[in-house]
Structure 1
C-alpha cells in the first residue's frame, strides 16, 4: 500500500507540475468580443497598454497548446479565479496519451488521472494535497513542481513580459477566433523582464510577475521569443512564448476566451478523494 501511494503521488505530482507550469504561459483576453479593429499605436506603446489592462483581471478562461520542456506536446483548457483563489484545468499529453484534471480550491490541490489514479487509490479518483497539512513534505512537493504555492499566479503576468523587450515590432493584422487583432513580436531576457517590473505596475502585478519569472528560471529558460495579438480594445487575445529550457524546447500558444466572467470550481466529493496527509499519518502509525 505504501509503495502504491508513493508511485501514485510521483505520477500525479508530475502531471500537476506540468499543469501548474502551463499556468505560467498565459496572457489575457476579453469577455466581450472587441470591435473588428486593431489599435493604431506605436508597437511599444500598444504592448504597454495591453500589459496595463492585465493588472485588474479577476478571472480567466483560456485554452492552450504547444510543447513543454521534458514533457512534449500538450493541450489544455483552464479557468481560474484570483480572488478567491481557485483553478480548474484539464490537460492531455500526447507523450502519454493520458488526461489529467487539476483543481485548486481553498489552498488544496486535487489531482485526477482517471482510471490509473483509481487503481492506485482503491477506487477513488482524486488525490488531495493540502500543503498546510503536509508541512515540510508539502513544501518539498511544491519546490519539485506540484505548483500548489504557485496556483494563485495570474497568467496575465506573462502578457507584461513583452514590455521588457527592446525590439518590439508590428508584424501585421490577423483574425483570431473571429476577432481582428494586431500582431506584435519581440525578444526578451528574464533580466529585461525583471528590470521592467517597476515601470507602472501595482504591487500585485509585480508579485505575479516575480512568480512567473521564477517559474521560467526553474525550467532553465533565460530568454523568450514572444508574440502577442492585441484586439481593438487593447486586450491580448492570443499569446505565444518560445524558448529553450534545460529539458528541451518551450513553445506554448494561449488563446483567451474571456476574462472577469464568473468562475466556479467545486471541491471533489470527499467519498471519491484520498487525502495524502492522512495516508502518511496512517502509514507512520
Structure 2
C-alpha cells in the first residue's frame, strides 16, 4: 500500500487535473457574463470591424446556449502522447461537467457538480476500498486541498467563450479563409492574445467581467504564457465548431484542438451512486495533517 504522502500527492494531482480540464481544456464556466459588446479596434492582424463583429456574434450565441459537448486533444512540452478528452458541460444556470480523458494509455473520468469533484481513476481503486469513484468536497477541504476551491471558483468564472471574447475585446481578430470542419461549412478566424493586451482590457467595456479578466491574467501569469494564438472556425449557423490554441509558455509550447457541438442541447450529468463513492476529502486532509505533524516533529528533533 502507498504511504500517506504518496496518496495525498496522487489525490491532489487528480483534483488539479479536473481543475485544469475545466479552466484550460474545455474552457468551462458559468453564465452571467453578458454579451460581447464595445468591440476593439482593427488589431495587429488587421481584423477589421466585420471579422470582429461576426466573431462577437458567435460568442454571444454560444454564451447564451448554456450547454456544449467537446472533444479534443492537448499536447504539453516534453509529453510524447497528447491527452485526449471528451466532455459535456452545462455552464448555465449552474456549472456541471462530465469528462473522460485518455492519459498515457489510461482512461480517467471526472465529474464536477457544484463544489464536488468525482474521479474514476482505476489506479486508485485499491486505495479506495475497491470503490470506483473518489469524491473531494471542496467546501470541506483544507490545507493545500483547500486551495483547490479557489481554483475551481476561478474555473467556474470562465465559460466556453471567455478567451475568445477577450481576443475580440483586444481587437486582434482576422478572417483567414473558409473550410469544412466536422462536415460543416465554416469560416476561419485567427488572432493572438497577450498578457499586455489583457492588461488594457476593462470590465467597463462590457466584453468580460472584472473577475473574468483577473482570472485570465492570473492563468497566463501562473502558466508563464507570453502569448496565445487562437484559431476559430464558425459554422454557417453562427456557432463555434472548432478552436485551436497555441500557448507559448516558459516551459515550451502548449497546444490544444477542441471540437464543439450540440450547443444548447440537453446534457445528462449526475453524481455517481453513493455506494460507489469513496470519501477522498477526509482521507486526503487526514493524510496531510499527518504529514505536517511528522514534518514538524522532524524539524524540532
1:248 aligns with 2:258: no
RMSD: 2.9
In 1, are the aligned partners of 2:232 and 2:244 still within 8 Å (CA)?
yes
Q: Aligned to 1:12, which of 11, 14, 36?
A: 14
Q: Which has the higher contact order (CA 8 A, sep 6+)?
A: 1
Q: 1:138 to 1:7 in 2, by over 3 A?
A: closer
Q: What is the CA–CA distance in structure 2 between the aligned matches of 1:158 and 1:197, rounded to whole Å? A: 14
Q: What is the CA–CA distance in structure 2 between the aligned matches of 1:280 and 1:67, rounded to whole Å? A: 29
Q: Aligned to 1:55, which of 46, 63, 68?
A: 63
Other-structure match for 1:22: 24
SS at match of 2:145: helix
Q: What is the CA–CA distance in structure 1 between the aligned matches of 2:258 and 2:142, rounded to whole Å? A: 34
Return the offset for 1:70.
Answer: 6.3
Q: What is the CA–CA distance in structure 2 between the aligned matches of 1:281 and 1:67, rounded to whole Å? A: 31
- Higher alpha-carbon Rg: 2
SS at match of 2:255: strand
TM-score by length of 1: 0.79
Return the offset for 1:212.
Answer: 3.9
Other-structure match for 2:4: 2
SS at match of 1:42: helix
Deviates more, 1:8-17 or 1:264-273: 8-17
Q: What is the CA–CA distance in structure 1 between the aligned matches of 2:132 and 2:202, rounded to whole Å? A: 41
TM-score by length of 2: 0.76
In 2, are the aligned partners of 1:5 and 1:121 still within 8 Å (CA)?
no
In 1, are the aligned partners of 2:162 and 2:208 still within 8 Å (CA)?
no
**1:68-147 mapped onto 2 (5 Å cutoff):** 68=76, 73-82=82-91, 83-93=93-103, 96-114=104-122, 116-142=123-149, 147=151
Q: Deviations over 1:150-177 (max 9, x none)?
A: 4423122122132145543221110111
In 1, are the aligned partners of 2:116 and 2:138 still within 8 Å (CA)?
yes
Deviates more, 1:50-59 or 1:103-112: 50-59
Structure 2 runs not aligned, ≥5 long: 30-48, 291-301
Q: What is the CA–CA distance in structure 1 between the aligned matches of 2:202 and 2:245, rounded to whole Å? A: 18
Number of equivalences: 264
Q: What is the CA–CA distance in structure 2 between the aligned matches of 1:178 and 1:194, rounded to whole Å? A: 38
Q: What is the CA–CA distance in structure 2 between the aligned matches of 1:110 and 1:132, rounded to whole Å? A: 14
SS at match of 1:233: coil
SS at match of 2:139: helix
Return the offset for 1:230.
Answer: 1.5
Q: What is the CA–CA distance in structure 1 between the aligned matches of 2:55 and 2:285, rounded to whole Å? A: 51
